[in-house]
A and B are shown apart, each in its own frame.
Chain A
Amino acid sequence: MAEAPLELAERALAGVRSGDGAQATVSSERSLLLRFARSRPTQATGIEDLTVEITVVRDGHVAGASTNRTDDDGLAACARAAERAAAAAAGGGERDRAPGPYPGLPAPTPVRAHAGHDGETAFLAPARGGAALEAAFAAAAAHGTEAHGVWTAAETEVAIASTSGVAVSDLLTDAFMKVTAIAPGGRSGYAASAATDSKALDGHGLAERAALKAAFGGQGAEPAHLPPGEYPVVLEPLAVGELLGWLGHLSLNGLAVAEGRSALSGRLGQRVAAPRINLSDSPRYPGTLPRAFDLEGVPKAPLPLIQDGVARGVVHDRRSASLAGNGAESTAHALAPGGAPEGPEPTNLVLVGGGAADEAELCRPIERGVYVTRLWYTNAVRPKETLLTGVTRDGTFLIEDGEVTRPLADLRFTDGVLGVLERTQELSAQPVLTSEGEFYGRRFATGTVCPALRVDGLRFTG
């Protein structure tokens, strides 16, 4: 029987001989990803791999090494590399360097289970993915479009063992499908779905939604061009999730707050958004991709971030909490053992829904505005202002007299996320899980649960 990730972590930890403390983290991945374009399969990738990361603490400094070799020699070499790294970080044998800012490994705390694993999904049956592709191709063709996209599912596990007594593991499944439907004239539409159960991925339904957008107004309809300016907008959940993800990265990051780089530095307790904005990090919220603990083994728990428009909290790992002082503690948002260099980030953002039944109801009060399906290539222009730029993509439409009337050419926006939340007038009732399904490095699926928004003005710059 194969060695369990937690057993492997404990075996790796046992090989560490020096330092003030150590943590062994095992991240395993079994995944299958099927890509398609022009309504035919293009690439299929199956991965079976794991990473053993050994982190050693020495005199307030943290350093580490990782490997995917799990034989005793491989683990021993990894442990020696981590020990040497920690010794070098601490200033060598003389310990002549000032102590580092790391407050030490956390003590063990019980973690709560969650329902984020589906046994059938973990089987990673290629046939299930193949059937989803077939269904998507058929639905796209029915509307005269071609389907492009991805179907993917994975089983991942994170296990942590530390010299402070932490011994935890978290077994998860995640599944994601997206379809970009492209009409012969080049117009496109998009739909995506993420869940812990791959049965929830409806290839036909996603392709149908995407194709209806691509074909909106008829195949020959040319998109209208809108001059730059500020327009009322309805943002679908995917676009909202993108903006909230940036807010988490730039502003809700406790390290950025402590260093004065965040828009929320010195603003906790102040109004930063419209009163109807309620944002939290909720690791077990219905529909989210749950997590039991962070990469320091600290148990996850719901955390209010913005309540009734007032900034209430930011996320911390052990290091950022120590730097922040004033009694701050880890909120279980470490992205790496010892804390990531960029600081902590939310992984389970939830924006509570509002009073509008759906996107159509959000459009109703708008005389002339823009309907946005999703945003693309967003990037921070001035992080402290939460100023982003990016473009709309795969379904941008003109709203006239309360209804979506015709397709628009994609637009560039340049605006602040907090400004968008300040100008939010209404939210749709039902938040949904949004994810970009980007899996760089070892797979770590995250998503934001959020509704659609009506915003009284988004600045389009081109």
Chain B
Amino acid sequence: MDAAAERCDYADARIVHSHEESISTRNGHVDELDRHEAHGAGIRVRYGGGWGFVATRELTRAGLEAALARALEVAEAQPGAAATPLTAEPPASGRYDGPCERDPFEVPTEEKLETLLAADEAMRGQAAVAITSAHFQAWSEQRLFASTEGALCEQRTVDCGGGIAAVAVSDGETQVRSYPASFRGDVARAGYEHFAALDLVRHAPRVAEEAVALLTAPACPAERTTLILDGQQLALQVHESIGHAIELDRVLGLEASYAGTSFLSPEDAGMRRYGSPLMQVSADATAPGGLGTFGWDDEGVAARRVEIVRDGILRGFLSSRESAAEVGLERSGGCMRSSGFDRQPVVRMTNVNLEPGDAGSLDDLVAATERGVLMETNRSWSIDSRRLHFQFATEVAWEVVDGERRRMLRNPSYAGVTPEFWAGLDAVCSAPEWRLWGVVNCGKGEPGQLMRVSHGTAPARFRDVAVGVA
């Protein structure tokens, strides 16, 4: 940083050492067993109004100086632009260690395989089940951050989780059921203890039975009705229709070429109704176990909790030092995150959470619903580039009649428009039903980055929703 300070307006550097392990079984065989390691430095400089960023795996002094020179060359070669301010932040200092009771990278591979293969086997036996799979995933990251403003901090985080899935196939149908979440399961900022607590083997027979039952279940009818969403599907609903919409870089039009923009504008904060008065949303980078929980973001801004929606009214955004300054905020929201040393940080979700309500348990909520559909476990998602018009499909649904969960329904789907959908929120289950759900494949940025984020949700009910749309 000393070398950089003399040659540009601002610079920061991250040295990141990351490990990843993926283990999967498929139909009783080990399908994937890979360990990945990467280390390197990302140097970001600001020269005039332009940014330059260069990633290198050469961590020698010569390697880092060459990367700095290239970053300056890149910044200078771009068309001139007026410099925009950055919010003032106290220089980060110290060390943060994320929660981890048992390091997943120290757990013998055989122990992990024993669990996965047992869960895989427990899903087999019925002829219609064509594919069974079980998954384990773990990541660890060591990040050292320094800036020309005097920041110097270090943090280590560990993420771990997994899941199972059964695919049933008949002549014209393919149905999938998974646990605890689709697309390889659920991951938390935690050690192996999170994977062990998922108890995959115990849930395996039910998962297979439901996959087979879906093959002959009646299709979800097309109608407007009351919709109850389980926690995982609601987490993705929050992710797509709130989390991305409140990213300030999108709001300001800075992500228009890829991720898109937002139906929100900076002036909406404090003014715009996002949904029903029951809607309380925060972005909390301090939530224990969340994949968006850390000590500092990748600009060295200390983790914080930002109020996003209070009583249904939009209050705040996810922001960086530059975007926060552009809309006149005094502090960054601390949301600049990068997926590794070779990507520069962009505005990201931390843990965007829908706070729990007072509707009791999921059973209580069903009992209090005369007629509707309960949908569980995401299967497909799509939303427009302004985060307004969405369509989701889930793995399974049940019709709800007179307060009881009745027939299973296959191919459930629903669609809506963000503010109208959230205006229909009329019940959120209570705190004991609330938990964080991990999303490990949030894509954004160019070159692309996959980020791990979490969303805290409890099951909730929405009125007058179009279901059976696909």
Contact = CB atoms under 8 A, between A and B. Distances in A.
Given A43-B51, A61-B29, A412 B393 contact: no
Indicate the size class of the contact surface on chain B. Answer: 35 or more
A238 to B, nearest CB: 14
Contacts of A100: 29-30
Contacts of A150: 257-258, 446
B56 interface: yes
Contacts of B77: 126-127, 129-130
Interface string A201-212: 000000000000
A440 B447 contact: yes
Nearest to A437: B446
Interface string A393-422: 100000000000000001010100000000
B167 A261 contact: yes
B75 interface: yes
B256 A126 contact: no
Contact of A46 (B28, B55, B470): B55
A152 B169 CA distance: 43
Interface residues of A, number: 87
A267 interface: no
Contacts of B465: none
B447 A65 contact: no
Nearest to B109: A88
A38 interface: yes
Contacts of B35: 64-66, 81-82, 85
A45 B447 contact: yes
A439 B174 contact: no
Contacts of A390: 382
A37 B173 CA distance: 45
A393 B384 contact: yes
Contact of A260 (B130, B254, B446, B469): B130
B256 A88 contact: no
A38 B254 contact: yes
Contact of A34 (B76, B78, B131, B346): B78
B97 interface: no
A44 B342 CA distance: 12
Interface stretch (A103-111, A301-309, A371-379, A447-455): A371-379
Interface stretch (A18-26, A274-282, A381-389): A381-389
A440 B448 contact: yes
Given A259-B131, A440-B447, A69 B39 contact: yes
A130 B80 CA distance: 10
A45 B256 contact: no
B111 to A, nearest CB: 10
A239 to B, nearest CB: 15
Nearest to A78: B37
Interface in B382-422: 382-385, 389, 391, 393, 411, 413, 415
A92 B443 CA distance: 37
Contacts of B256: 37, 148, 180, 182, 188
A40 B447 contact: no
Contact of B257 (A148, A259, A440): A148
Given A38-B254, A382-B174, A410 B384 contact: yes
A381 B393 contact: yes
A461 B37 contact: no
B79 interface: yes
Interface string A133-160: 1100100000000001110100000000
Nearest to B111: A88
Interface in B317-367: 342-344, 346
A402 to B, nearest CB: 28
Nearest to A436: B258
A127 B73 CA distance: 9
Contact of B169 (A88, A260, A378): A260
Contact of B344 (A43, A61, A179, A261): A43
Nearest to A101: B29
A66 B447 contact: no
A68 interface: yes
B79 A133 contact: yes
Interface in A12-56: 31-38, 40-51
A379 B381 contact: yes
A275 B33 CA distance: 44
A376 B57 contact: no
A461 B469 contact: yes
Interface in B51-68: 51-58, 67
Contacts of A81: 35
A127 B131 CA distance: 52
A443 interface: yes
A63 interface: yes
Interface centre among A133, A148, A150, A393 (most CB of B within 10 A): A148
Given A32-B74, A45-B447, A261 B109 contact: no
Given A259-B130, A393-B385, A439 B257 contact: no
What are the nearest 9 A-B pairs in CB distance?
Answer: A126-B77, A440-B448, A63-B33, A41-B78, A89-B30, A88-B109, A40-B81, A439-B447, A148-B257
Given A40-B49, A63-B32, 4 more contacts: A90-B30, A92-B110, A389-B470, A437-B446
Interface of B: 24, 26, 28-40, 49-58, 67, 70-71, 73-79, 81, 109-110, 113, 130-131, 167, 169, 172-174, 253-258, 260, 342-344, 346, 379-385, 389, 391, 393, 411, 413, 415, 443, 446-450, 469-470
Interface of A: 31-38, 40-51, 61, 63-69, 78, 81-82, 84-86, 88-90, 92, 97-98, 100-101, 126-127, 129-130, 133-134, 137, 148-150, 152, 178-180, 182, 188, 259-261, 341, 376-384, 387, 389-391, 393, 410, 412, 414, 437-441, 443, 461-462
